[in-house]
Amino acid sequence: MGSNEIVVGVDGSEVSLAATRWAAREAGLRGVPLRIVLAFEYAWPRADFVGTPPGEQEAREHADQLLAAAVAEARAAAPDVDITSQAIRGKPAATLIDTAALSDLLVLGSRGHGGFVNLLLGSISQQVATHANAPVAVIRGDNDHTGGPVVVGVDGSESTAHTLEIAFQEAAARGATLTAIKAYELPVVWSGYGIGPQTFDVAEIEAAEHKFLDDAVAPWRDKYPSVHVETLVARGTAAETLIGVSKTAELVVVGTRGHGGFAGLLLGSVGQQLLHYAHSPVLIVRPATAAH
């Protein structure tokens, strides 16, 4: 792991406070500290060109007030967690990415509000989820709900094993059922130009998908015998399937497809759609070979 802490970005909105509560409980489950970060810019067009522009002190005082409220929410949600906080002047997305570069997890609300502090708008959450070195949890839906399964999407990519490992860890920490899902679509059938209709055995395809999923899950069943595991093969797109099951899930875990350079990772269409439409918190797992 990285610095053995969880970082949560806040902006004073109710969504960011919900993310703070979730992050505090997650820190308690993992036994790690929580750092609450507020990135702020004061709304004055030429602020960057003046040493002590009007509004800076007011902005900092307001940021401190918002941080104090977030700390209070975190302490109420997880009294035993070690909590620190800091307000940083800077672009929200870049600040959070830099601050949480070596953290175990970066937590965000799915949306926030504009205006004075301007953190956690949808575009910022997407930027952070796409470019962060750390795993990212985006809090959506009924994030205070417990008792549902931890759902993990299995796609056969190189990061599948690491994604499954993280999902098993999350399920074990919560005492939750783990539901591993493999979605598939039938092959495209072409005909015409002298080519007759192609046929395929749906049962055979589904059996192969079941075998792949069972084989992928098997090593982690053995490593986490206390976790009750359900496997599901679903016909349809991965995004539609995971969004559907997120209605009853406590958490949905998906991997990313690695990418070098500044981008850090490619979130992929499934992750993008989950960030917009999931009914539960979504954990975006970065490839194990990257920052951690």
CA distance 176 to 116: 40
Please give the CATH number for the structural domain made up of 6-139.
3.40.50.620
pLDDT at 189: 63
Residue-wise pLDDT tens digits, 158-201 = 889 999 999 999 999 999 999 999 999 877 666 556 565 566 77
Q: Are strands 6-9 and 178-184 parallel, antiparallel or unpaired?
A: unpaired
For residues 234 and 264, what is the distance between their CA atoms, to the nearest angstrom? Answer: 30
| Segments making up each domain of the chain, as ranges | 6-139, 150-285
Query: Is 150-285 in CATH node 1.10.1380.10?
Result: no
User: Contact, 110 vs 15, CB < 8 A?
Assistant: yes
Q: SS3 breakdown of the chain: % helix, strand, coil, rounded to 5?
A: 40, 20, 40
The string of pLDDT tens digits covering residues 8-50 is: 999 888 989 999 999 999 999 999 999 999 998 765 444 455 5
Q: Which pair of tokens denotes residue 122? A: 């949808």
This prediction's pTM: 0.84
What digits encode the pLDDT tens for the residues 115-137?
A: 334 444 357 777 888 888 889 99
Give the Cα separation of 89 and 172 in Å (integer): 38
The reply to whether 150-285 shares the fold of 6-139 is yes
Strands (E) in 147-281, as ranges, are: 150-153, 178-184, 229-235, 251-255, 257-258, 265-266
